[in-house]
Chains A and B, each alone.
Chain A
Amino acid sequence: MIPLIGLEILALILVAAQAAGGVRTDEAKYLLNIPYPHPPLARYALNLLDWLPVQEMFWRVTMATLVIQAVWIVWDMGRRLDLQPRFFLAASWVLAAAVLLQAGTIMMAPLTAVQGLVLIWWWAREGDGGERLESSGSVVRWLEKRRLAFALKPEWRALGVGMFWLASLFTAYQAVVFLPVVISLLRRIGAPGWQRVLSCLGPLVLLAAYTLTNPLIGASILIHGEDGGDLSLLERLRGVSLLWLVGGSALGSVLGTWGIARSRSWPLILSFLLLTAFLLGSVPYPYYAVLFTPLLVAGMREALHSKTSLAAKPLLPAFIAASLVVVFLFPPSFSPSPARAAMQAVIARGREGDIFITQDFGHEWQYESPFIVRHFRRQLLEAAQAVVCQRHCDDLGFDWQLLPVAGVTLPEVWVRSDRGAPESAPAETAQPPGPRVNVNAAGKVNVKGVTDGQ
Chain B
Amino acid sequence: MLRTLPASLFALILLALLAFLSPRIVALAPLYTDKDLRGTVRIDVRKLSTELGWIVSDMPVVAATPRTFTFLYRPHHRHARGRPDCYVFYFVTNHVAPCASE
Mask: chain B, 73-102; 1 = CB below 8 Å from A; 0 = not: 101111110000101000011111110010
In the complex, how many angstroms separate the beta carbon of B27 from the nearest chain A beta carbon? 9
Contacts of A444 in B (CB 8 A): 93, 95, 97
What residue in chain A is nearest B90 (Cβ atoms)? A453
Tell me the count of chain A residues lying within 8 A, CB to CB, of chain B: 62
What residue in chain A is nearest B95 (Cβ atoms)? A452
Given contacts A212-B32, A373-B75, A434-B73, A447 and B10 within 8 Å (CB-CB) = no
A155 within 8 Å of B (CB atoms): yes
What residue in chain B is nearest A203 (Cβ atoms)? B14
A262 within 8 Å of B (CB atoms): no
Contact B96 A446 (CB under 8 A): yes
Contacts of B92 in A (CB 8 A): 453
A309 within 8 Å of B (CB atoms): no
Mask: chain B, 49-74; 1 = CB below 8 Å from A; 0 = not: 11111111110110000000000010
Contacts of A354 in B (CB 8 A): 53
Contacts of A437 in B (CB 8 A): 98
What residue in chain B is nearest A375 (Cβ atoms)? B53
Mask: chain B, 1-43; 1 = CB below 8 Å from A; 0 = not: 0111111011101100110011011001001100000000010
Contacts of A380 in B (CB 8 A): 52-53
Contact A371 B96 (CB under 8 A): no
In whole angstroms, how far apart are the Cα atoms of A435 and B80 in the complex? 16
Number of A-B contacts (CB under 8 A): 158
What residue in chain B is nearest A371 (Cβ atoms)? B77
Given contacts A369-B77, A371-B77, A445-B97, A194 and B7 within 8 Å (CB-CB) = yes
Contact B7 A159 (CB under 8 A): yes
Contact B28 A213 (CB under 8 A): yes
Contact B9 A215 (CB under 8 A): no
Contact A159 B6 (CB under 8 A): yes
In the complex, how many angstroms separate the beta carbon of B61 from the nearest chain A beta carbon? 5
Given contacts A36-B57, A159-B10, A206-B14, A454 and B95 within 8 Å (CB-CB) = yes
Contacts of B24 in A (CB 8 A): 212-213
Contacts of A195 in B (CB 8 A): 6-7, 10
What residue in chain B is nearest A195 (Cβ atoms)? B7
Contact A209 B101 (CB under 8 A): no
In whole angstroms, how far apart are the Cα atoms of A36 and B2 in the complex? 40
Contact B95 A367 (CB under 8 A): no
The stretch among A27-35, A104-112, A136-144 that forms the contact with chain B is: A27-35
A121 within 8 Å of B (CB atoms): no
In whole angstroms, how far apart are the Cα atoms of A32 and B77 in the complex? 7
Given contacts A219-B42, A377-B52, A444-B97, A369 and B10 within 8 Å (CB-CB) = no
Given contacts A32-B77, A35-B57, A368-B78, A210 and B21 within 8 Å (CB-CB) = yes
With most chain A CB atoms within 10 A of its CB, the pick from B7, B58, B75 is B7
Contacts of A192 in B (CB 8 A): 3, 7
Contact A370 B7 (CB under 8 A): no
In the complex, how many angstroms separate the beta carbon of B37 from the nearest chain A beta carbon? 12
Contacts of A199 in B (CB 8 A): 7, 10
A214 within 8 Å of B (CB atoms): yes
A247 within 8 Å of B (CB atoms): no
In whole angstroms, how far apart are the Cα atoms of A434 and B25 in the complex? 28
Contact A372 B75 (CB under 8 A): yes
A323 within 8 Å of B (CB atoms): no
Given contacts A195-B6, A202-B11, A450 and B52 within 8 Å (CB-CB) = yes
In whole angstroms, how far apart are the Cα atoms of A306 and B77 in the complex? 53
Contact B53 A374 (CB under 8 A): yes
Given contacts A450-B48, A450-B96, A453-B95, A213 and B21 within 8 Å (CB-CB) = yes
Contact A212 B98 (CB under 8 A): no
Contacts of B79 in A (CB 8 A): 50-51, 370
A221 within 8 Å of B (CB atoms): no
Mask: chain A, 333-344; 1 = CB below 8 Å from B; 0 = not: 000000000000
What residue in chain B is nearest A163 (Cβ atoms)? B10
Add 8 more A-B contacts to A213-B24, A434-B75, A445-B98 (CB < 8 A): A35-B57, A159-B9, A215-B60, A216-B57, A354-B53, A366-B78, A370-B77, A375-B50
User: Which 4 pairs between the two chains have the least Cβ-Cβ distance?
Assistant: A453-B94, A374-B53, A159-B6, A213-B24
